[in-house]
């Protein structure tokens, strides 16, 4: 994360969702000095995180200064006693840079001011995006006494920081980057040598840097060279350990031999009669062939292989001494097999190290033991020694091959370098080959006076770089063979520094380089890390930390060549790099340049909405926990891409004359200044130098041309650089870039004032063209533009004008354009300004305009975001269903087809008609400013979406009177947007209105919920909103047959309206979570009373159909209703009063079917208590009937027998049995539909018998009623039943006791077969043990289905935990956790079951009966709602029988981890719910409802249970 400078201290908040793994005994760790004191990289402050499963956890870090910091969370791992370290995060805080203020470059008359950019006395904060950096090569500036001219020139050209190449004493090559002494400045800079003697010139140089800062407004940046030192650094004599040598890095020994051989061979070329001057490829081949022969004589293969002679003697001696290591399993193996065994066993010492000749070997006793055990037929010592030699020969084969490969690579490298350096047109064209200028650069520096006596210590590896190397690997260390294979593009004047793993490995070097960086940090405002990608990370981190100790506001930039954005981010994060250098010169055409500008310099897109829509206002608690809260603005952070320092050209790259054309300097240079980033250039670019200058060999001085006629593009740069800084300080942070036919148009805008600057640049990527080309006129909607400046560049010659003393640019003349008028136009989209390109505008030309949006309503942002709470605050939950949600089917049903979901071209119909429909795409758009999204394009094209939003509410005011206020609120804002906002701003303002409305509506909904919801975390609230999402009014489904009333949809989109909307089973599985935990007791009560009124045959309908044509084919629905009535009495205020509520009965007492408006309908009433009793009594008597209107008109799939309903109580066990092979009366109710597969009318899961969840619900009801009856709150004692031929009273307690006594025996399948006699099991049918049966007493021929392991038993555990043996229960739950639990739900069948089919496809009309027409609906697909019951059951029984029942935190953490996929899904899915089901392992199922009532409900049940525990 990149964070802004702490001009005013602010807080960085790290937020963790409740219940995530990091909260499991979590500890937040950071090296940010939370407790005060000085920053230390390895010193970490800790904050122990509270264990909170209901609310998010915040860690607030007070930010008051710059720096680069790391953080992570450590928490308990899965294994007992283990700790897990979370992923490291990094935050880099920008430094505060202060510089001199300057006068505005654009005067009050909107023209370029001649006095603009003048240095003022005041100082201002300069944001990084305002940096305009000029690179000056120090050696070409001459002594300090001549610097003022260059400083004045840079200041006049609008630069505010100078990048000085290294100013330290240069080595013998005279390269600024080959530093001879890091603590002494270059002597040639000082006229008075006393200045140098006192402190290495530091004080005198700082005087000049002070002048630059105070008089010229120029901050200072210098290179920090950490990787190498000059080859003649005097301290290398005393400290050769600072470099890599064969002495401390032994694998370099053969590389040194090869390097020495190359030097000696080069010195002897003439004596050998070989060409010393390379004039042709033939010369190259002759020399290299001769050198190859010379290298062969070195016998470098000896560094690779085992010595045959030494190995023979060693094994022979061991055999004679009977010193043998035993070997097993090698007898009679071939020599090839023996060699393989040796390689894999690790006994070959020194292999691959190349540290010394014949350093690869096998200990004699090891080899002797091997040959003795392998060659069992040989006894003679000489014969065994010869056998070992044969093994050694095999071992050596790949080692010889490795030597040959490495030698070939080295020869190729030398050959290629020889050709480049002496033959290639673009090479340096070096002179004759000699000892001083050998075939290629030497890889080692030999310290004179020392190397002669100790070459291993005083031959130090030179630094360089390697193509496509891994920047995290040191190519001077093994296993790299880069020096041997000559893969390093070496700098012969630089010795690579050897830091080791830390200061203890090389104390003197670390101390010396720490002094170096700290000295620089005290003098300069910024560092450029030279060769950063080759800087070992730990070195860069440690030394930059040391630098920031003396200068916390140090600006750090670097150029990386990692080839990977991921690797770039790693370096930026670890080193605290503030800016990465990017270069426009790398673009190969205008399209690529446009991409680079968009990527690195755009800022935010024009019309961006994150500040307006994503930020929020909150109250910040006091840091100590005491005192008043403080108002604050909360800005979410998305992470950062590395900030750019965008150069038009860097000092070490070819000029534009070489790469493109000289003319492109003006156009690309201008484009860089319009980047919302730091920018950079080199003096030679502005002065139009024709060629790249050689840093090493060039010694002439710059010419200071200031702003004169011969100053190249400097006059244009003065305007543009100064404007660049002004745009940064003025927060012109929004931009737009457009490329067309070689033109680039870049517009920068200040979002608050909508003032902007427009740059039109005609790029010149190709030489010679003067053609204007073609670009469409630039239309600026509702915007006036005024010409400020224009120029092209004219070259009379591209020749070099340098002389022996001075560096000069080409003869290029800046030709300034006369002003042009920007005409105003008007078309169907409104007024516009139109920039028309003049007839003469050749490649390389630029034009600059000031722009201003006309008719800007400065209060529009505030107006659009105001008043939402007043507009939406009075809405009830049913109103909010309309405002927030409504799927297409619901909306069309509710509005007689007049309104449907809004259709966005390129996206299609939105998920919801209400705010959530628009918010799903807007969340992404707002957070990432994705103004290229199809919705944004649609909004720019017209205002149809705005009209839709308010008109759909206006049209429904008659039904929902309270919608008038939000409709009016919308309309006023959208009308004002239409009147005053340009089309390009419509997406922003639409987003403000929609997001403000959404936040207000969501707040209104949450505020009407229970404390559990209103104080809960976002996941709890997201789940609670599903109750608003699915509970609303449609015309075709109601709780009243005579008028529309709110009803709960089972799911969307499939159950949005009509007879399929409201299901008895679904309603009552969902009611507790969606209505009772959320506090909507009124909604719950209305559903209870409506369904209770339909009681018939002792059942309630599965399909309600607005109470008009309910269908009674569900055995479990009445028991779910009774469970909900019980839950209601325990949850709602005065909940018991519902039992005395009078309910008019939909059907007559004799169960006759009558129409809802028949006089017999609703002709009598019962209390809820009486209805409860009727359900139990009818079951006790037995329920036998045939469904009304049985036949294809009722169910076109069911066979005739399936319409027969038969339910009874087995009074020997107390269990309720029912169903048949022809129907499916529980929630697993899929009826076969395929004629082709022969499954039509065949239930997929009949579950006839006593399903385990019905038994649990029965037991729960009996326990509850027994308690109520005992307390006098229920007017009945039990039921009448015929037992042993006599009708008698069976009390609730007796019935409950009967079920309790029989449950484990009937349902449990013991883990051990030895326990089978204790239980009612058939061992032949058992597929898995340690489970609870899904059904007890399945019908004849399907007895096996009792033993199917399914997800229903946890339901019984939650509602009637007393039925279960605690240990049996927990063991079965742990098994379900492994076998059945999926990411978003529970598998409906054991994967080991032969019927398991986890992919549901209702459209499949194939011949496979198992899956045809989706018969496998409940045979493996993972359903959402059983997951909540599983979690509740696990929590309960782990508390009873777990390893630490007194501490539930471990279990809660474990179970909350199971909720992470659900958290992500409801947050990210457009339906904002939990799906009905998924296929295997959470895979999307197209036939599933995308949001299902019971799926969200049971998770809320679990979360409320956790909340109560807390």
* Positions marked catalytic: 530, 533, 652
Q: At what angle do helices 714-729 and 664-673 cross, to 10 degrees?
A: 20
Provide the Cα torsion 58, 60, 66, 72; round to 10°. -40
**Residue 321: count of CB within 10 angstroms of its CB:** 11
Number of CB atoms found within 10 A of residue 659's CB:
16
The CA–CA distances, whole Å, from 1086 to 642, 1036, 1045 equal 58, 18, 10
Polymer length in residues for the chain: 1510
Q: How many of the other CB atoms lie within 10 Å of CB of 482?
A: 22
Return d(Cα 786, Cα 778) in angstroms, integer: 13
Can you tell me the distance from the alpha carbon of 660 to that of 587, in angstroms, rounded to the nearest whole number? 10
Number of Cβ within 10 Å of residue 631's Cβ equals 8
DSSP string, 501-559: TSGGGSHHHHHHHHHHHHHHHHH-SEEEETTGGGS-HHHHHHHHHHHHHH-TT-EEEE-
- Contact between 1509 and 1018 under an 8 Å Cβ cutoff? The reply is no
Would you put residue 93 in left (φ > 0), alpha (ψ -120 to 50) or beta?
beta
Structure tokens at 137: 């090569």
Tell me how far apart the alpha carbons of residues 847 and 816 are, in angstroms, rounded to a whole number: 10
Q: Which residues pair with 789 in a beta bridge?
A: 848
Rounded CA separation 128/139 (Å) = 27
Place of tokens 């930010």: 63
Vertex 1406 angle, CA 1401 and 1407, to 5°: 130
Contact present, 1493 and 1054 (Cβ < 8 Å): no
Give how far Cα 1146 sits from Cα of 1163, 1204, 1307, Å.
8, 22, 38
Count of beta carbons in the 10 Å neighbourhood of residue 899: 19
Q: What one-character-per-residue DSSP string does 1434-1465 give?
A: HHHHHHHHSS-TT--HHHHHHHHHHTHHHHHH
- Angle of CA points 1338, 1340, 1343, to nearest 5°: 45
CA distances to 450, 635, 869, 874 from 999, rounded to whole Å, are 77, 16, 9, 14
Please state whether beta strands 1183-1186 and 1165-1167 pair in parallel, antiparallel, or not at all (unpaired): unpaired
- Rounded CA Rg of the chain: 42
Beta strand extents in 1320-1469 (DSSP E only):
1331-1332, 1335-1336, 1386-1387, 1422-1423
The separation between CA 518 and the C-alpha centre of its own chain, rounded to angstroms, equals 36
Peptide bond just before 1053 cis, omega within 30 deg: yes
Of 125, 69, 66, 62, which Cα lies nearest the Cα of 94?
Answer: 66
Q: Cα–Cα distance between 615 and 618 in angstroms, integer? A: 10
Contact 1220, 1204 (CB under 8 A): yes
How far apart are alpha carbons 423 and 426 in whole angstroms? 9
Question: Could you check whether the bond before residue 1504 is cis, i.e. omega within 30 degrees of 0?
Answer: no
Task: Convert 453-481 into a string of H (helix), E (strand) and C (coil).
Answer: CCHHHHEEEEEEECCCCCCCCCCCCCCCC
């Amino acid at each position: 994360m990149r964070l802004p400078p702490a001009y005013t201290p602010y807080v960085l908040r790290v937020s963790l969702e409740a219940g995530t793994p990091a909260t499991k005994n979590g500890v937040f760790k950071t090296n940010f000095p939370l407790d005060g004191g000085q920053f230390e990289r390895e010193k970490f402050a800790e904050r122990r995180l509270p264990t909170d499963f209901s609310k998010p956890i915040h860690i607030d870090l007070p930010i008051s200064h710059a720096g680069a910091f790391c953080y992570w969370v450590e928490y308990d791992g899965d294994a007992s006693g283990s700790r897990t370290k979370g992923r490291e995060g990094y935050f880099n805080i920008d430094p505060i840079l202060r510089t001199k203020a300057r006068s505005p470059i654009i005067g009050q008359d909107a023209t370029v001011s001649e006095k603009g950019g003048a240095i003022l006395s005041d100082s201002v904060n300069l944001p990084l995006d305002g940096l305009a950096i000029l690179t000056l090569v120090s050696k070409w500036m001459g002594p300090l006494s001549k610097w003022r001219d260059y400083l004045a020139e840079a200041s006049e050209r609008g630069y505010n920081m100078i990048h000085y190449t290294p100013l330290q004493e240069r080595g013998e090559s005279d390269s600024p980057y080959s530093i001879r002494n890091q603590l002494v400045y270059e002597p040639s800079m000082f006229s008075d040598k006393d200045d140098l003697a006192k402190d290495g010139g530091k004080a005198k140089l700082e005087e000049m840097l002070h002048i630059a800062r105070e008089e010229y407004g120029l901050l200072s940046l210098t290179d920090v060279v950490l990787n190498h030192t000059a080859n003649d650094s005097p301290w290398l004599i005393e400290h050769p350990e600072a470099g890599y040598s064969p002495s401390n890095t032994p694998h370099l020994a053969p590389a040194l031999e090869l390097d020495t051989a190359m030097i000696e061979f080069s010195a002897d070329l003439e004596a050998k009669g070989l060409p010393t001057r390379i004039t042709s490829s033939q010369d190259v081949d002759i020399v290299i062939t001769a050198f190859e022969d010379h290298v062969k004589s070195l016998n470098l293969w000896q560094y690779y292989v085992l010595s045959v002679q030494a190995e023979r003697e060693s094994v022979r001696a061991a055999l004679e001494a009977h010193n043998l290591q035993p070997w097993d399993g090698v007898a009679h193996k071939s020599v090839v097999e023996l060699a393989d065994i040796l390689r894999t066993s690790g006994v070959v010492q020194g292999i691959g190290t190349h540290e010394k000749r014949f350093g690869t070997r096998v200990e004699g006793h090891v080899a002797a033991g091997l040959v003795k055990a392998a060659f069992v037929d040989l006894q003679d010592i000489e014969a065994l020694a010869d056998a070992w030699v044969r093994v050694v020969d095999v071992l050596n084969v790949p080692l010889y091959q490795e030597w040959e490969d490495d030698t070939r690579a080295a020869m190729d490298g030398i050959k290629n370098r020889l050709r480049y350096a002496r033959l290639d047109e673009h090479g340096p064209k070096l002179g004759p080959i000699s000892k001083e200028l050998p075939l290629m650069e030497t890889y080692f520096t030999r310290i004179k006076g020392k190397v002669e006596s100790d070459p291993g210590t005083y031959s130090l590896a030179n630094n360089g770089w390697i193509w496509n190397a891994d920047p995290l690997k040191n190519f001077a260390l093994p296993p790299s063979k880069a020096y041997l294979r000559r893969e390093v593009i070496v700098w012969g004047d630089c010795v690579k520094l050897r830091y080791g793993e830390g200061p203890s490995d090389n104390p003197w070097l670390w101390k010396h380089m720490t002094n170096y960086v700290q000295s620089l940090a005290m003098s300069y405002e910024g560092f450029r890390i030279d060769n950063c990608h080759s800087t070992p990370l730990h070195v860069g981190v440690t030394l930059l930390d040391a630098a920031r100790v003396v200068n916390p506001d140090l600006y750090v930039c670097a150029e990386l060549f990692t080839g990977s954005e991921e690797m770039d981010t790693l370096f930026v994060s670890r080193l605290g790099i503030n800016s990465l250098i990017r270069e426009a010169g790398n673009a190969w055409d205008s399209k690529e340049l446009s991409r680079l500008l968009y990527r690195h310099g755009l800022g935010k897109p024009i019309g961006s909405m994150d500040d307006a829509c994503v930020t929020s206002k909150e109250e910040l608690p006091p840091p100590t926990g005491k005192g008043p809260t403080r108002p604050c603005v909360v800005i979410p952070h998305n992470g950062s891409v590395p900030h750019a320092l965008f150069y038009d050209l860097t000092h070490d790259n070819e000029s534009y004359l070489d790469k493109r054309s000289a003319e492109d300097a003006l156009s690309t240079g201008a484009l860089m200044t319009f980047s919302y980033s730091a920018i950079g250039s080199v003096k030679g670019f502005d002065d139009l130098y024709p060629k790249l200058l050689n840093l090493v060999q060039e010694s002439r001085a710059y010419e200071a041309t200031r702003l004169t006629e011969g100053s190249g593009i400097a006059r244009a740069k003065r305007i543009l650089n100064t404007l660049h800084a002004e745009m940064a300080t003025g927060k012109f942070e929004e931009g737009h870039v457009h490329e067309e036919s070689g033109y680039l148009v870049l517009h920068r805008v200040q979002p608050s004032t909508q003032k902007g600057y427009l740059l039109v640049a005609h790029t010149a990527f190709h030489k010679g063209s003067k053609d204007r080309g073609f670009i469409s006129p630039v239309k600026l909607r509702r915007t006036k533009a005024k010409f400020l400046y224009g120029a092209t560049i004219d070259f009379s010659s591209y020749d070099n004008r340098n002389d022996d003393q001075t560096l000069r640019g080409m003869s290029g003349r800046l030709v300034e354009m006369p002003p042009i008028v920007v005409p105003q136009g008007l078309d169907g989209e409104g007024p516009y300004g139109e920039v028309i390109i003049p007839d003469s505008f050749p490649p390389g030309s630029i034009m600059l305009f000031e722009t201003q949006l006309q008719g800007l309503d400065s209060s529009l942002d505030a107006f659009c975001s105001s008043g939402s709470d007043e507009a939406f605050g009075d809405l009830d939950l049913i109103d909010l269903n309309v405002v927030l949600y409504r799927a297409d089917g619901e909306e069309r049903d509710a509005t007689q087809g007049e309104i449907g979901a809004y259709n966005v071209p390129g996206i299609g119909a939105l998920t919801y008609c209400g705010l959530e429909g628009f918010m799903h795409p807007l969340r992404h758009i707002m957070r990432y400013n994705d103004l290229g999204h199809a919705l944004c394009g649609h909004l720019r094209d017209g205002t149809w979406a705005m009209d839709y939003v308010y008109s759909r509410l206006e049209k429904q005011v008659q039904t929902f009177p309270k919608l008038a206020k939000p409709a009016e609120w919308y309309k006023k804002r959208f009308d004002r947007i239409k009147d005053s906002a340009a089309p390009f701003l419509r997406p922003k303002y639409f987003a403000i209105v929609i997001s403000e409305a959404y936040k207000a509506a969501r707040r209104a909904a949450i505020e009407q919920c229970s404390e559990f919801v209103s104080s809960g975390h976002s996941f709890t609230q997201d789940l609670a909103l599903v109750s608003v999402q699915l509970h609303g009014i449609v015309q075709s489904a109601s709780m009243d047959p005579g008028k529309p009333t709110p009803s709960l949809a089972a799911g969307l989109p499939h159950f949005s309206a009509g007879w399929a909307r409201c299901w008895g089973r679904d309603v009552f599985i969902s009611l507790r979570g969606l209505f009772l935990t959320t506090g909507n007791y009124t909604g719950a009560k209305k559903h209870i009373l409506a369904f209770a009124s339909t009681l018939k045959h002792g059942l309630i309908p599965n399909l309600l159909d607005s109470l008009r044509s309910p269908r009674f084919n569900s055995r479990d629905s009445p028991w779910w209703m009774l469970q909900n009535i019980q839950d209601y009495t325990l949850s709602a205020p005065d909940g018991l009063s519902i039992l005395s509520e009078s309910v008019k009965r939909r059907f007559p007492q004799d169960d006759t079917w009558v129409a809802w408006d028949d006089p017999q309908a609703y002709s009598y009433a019962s209390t809820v208590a009486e209805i409860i009793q009727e359900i139990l009594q009818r079951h006790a008597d037995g329920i036998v009937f045939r469904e009304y209107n049985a036949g294809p008109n009722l169910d076109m799939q069911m066979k005739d027998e399936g319409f027969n309903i038969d339910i009874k109580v087995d009074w020997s066990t107390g269990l309720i049995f029912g169903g048949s092979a022809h129907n499916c009366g529980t929630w697993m109710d899929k009826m076969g539909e395929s004629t082709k597969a022969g499954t039509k009318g065949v239930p997929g899961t009949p579950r006839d018998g006593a399903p385990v969840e019905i038994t649990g619900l029965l037991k729960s009801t009996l326990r509850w009623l027994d308690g109520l009856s005992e307390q006098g709150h229920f007017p009945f004692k039990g039921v009448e039943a015929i037992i042993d031929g006599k009708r008698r009273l069976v009390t609730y307690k007796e019935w409950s006791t009967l079920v309790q006594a029989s449950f484990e025996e009937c349902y449990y399948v013991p883990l051990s077969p030895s326990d089978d006699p204790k239980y009612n099991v058939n061992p032949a049918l058992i597929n898995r043990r340690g489970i609870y049966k899904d059904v007890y007493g399945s019908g004849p021929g399907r007895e096996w289905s009792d033993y199917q392991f399914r997800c229903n038993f946890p339901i019984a555990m939650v509602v009637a935990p007393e039925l279960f043996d605690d240990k049996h229960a927990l063991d079965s739950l742990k098994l379900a956790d492994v076998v059945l639990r999926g990411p978003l739900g529970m598998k409906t069948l054991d994967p080991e079951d032969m019927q398991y089919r986890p992919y549901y496809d209702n459209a499949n009309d194939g011949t496979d009966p198992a899956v045809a027409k989706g018969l496998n609906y409940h045979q493996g697909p993972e359903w959402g709602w059983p997951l909540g019951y599983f979690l509740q059951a696990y929590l309960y029984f782990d508390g009873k029988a777990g390893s630490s029942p007194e501490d539930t935190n471990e279990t809660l953490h474990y179970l909350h981890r199971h909720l992470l996929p659900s958290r992500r899904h409801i947050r990210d899915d457009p339906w904002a719910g939990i799906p009905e089901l998924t296929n295997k392992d959470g895979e999307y199922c197209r036939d599933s409802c995308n949001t299902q009532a019971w799926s969200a409900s049971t998770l809320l049940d679990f979360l409320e249970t956790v909340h109560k525990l807390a």
